[in-house]
């Protein structure tokens, strides 16, 4: 007997769009509750959003900021997936390929965070400098 049938957990495809949405929301909640870096990314995004309102940035700048937010958050999600799948496969044992996969995933997050930092600097530094003058 399949384990999914034995313990009443879903193993088949979602039956409706709303069921898919519920699972997606559960995944986001799990990220918020279990992933420290994801929470950090959300906090930094909130601070930058507040700065955007304070400095009354234009629509084009908002578009760049949201591209940066979702690049970082999206790469954080993908990195979490990589880490979980690698842990599922190798368990508590050390494996060079597992380390490589995790390091590359973390590198992707770092690159997207660098992108976001550059975008933030391009948008906010000129405003801060003009405020100081």
Would the annotation count 87 as a binding residue? Answer: no
Phi, psi of 121 (to 5 degrees): -65, -45
User: Is 76 an annotated catalytic residue?
Assistant: yes
Would the annotation count 12 as a binding residue? Answer: no
Catalytic residue among 76, 79, 113, 119: 76
Closest CA to 50 of 65, 64, 40: 65
> Strand (E) positions, the chain?
none
Would the annotation count 34 as a binding residue? Answer: no
Q: Annotated catalytic sites, by residue? A: 76
Annotated binding site: 35, 76, 83, 102-103
Annotated binding site for ATP: 35, 83, 102-103
Annotated binding site for a divalent metal cation: 35, 83
Annotated binding site for substrate: 76
């Amino acid at each position: 007997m399949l384990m999914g049938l034995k313990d009443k957990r879903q193993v088949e495809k979602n039956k409706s769009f709303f069921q898919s949405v519920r699972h997606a929301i559960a995944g986001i909640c799990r990220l918020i509750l279990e992933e420290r870096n994801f929470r950090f990314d959300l906090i930094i995004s909130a601070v930058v959003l507040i700065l955007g309102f304070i400095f009354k940035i234009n629509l084009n700048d908002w578009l760049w900021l949201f591209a940066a937010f979702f690049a970082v958050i999206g790469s954080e999600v993908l990195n979490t997936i990589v880490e979980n799948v690698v842990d599922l496969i190798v368990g508590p044992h050390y494996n060079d390929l597992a380390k490589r996969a995790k390091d590359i995933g973390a590198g992707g997050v770092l690159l997207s965070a660098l992108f976001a930092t550059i975008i933030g600097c391009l948008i906010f530094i000129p405003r801060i400098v003009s405020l100081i003058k």
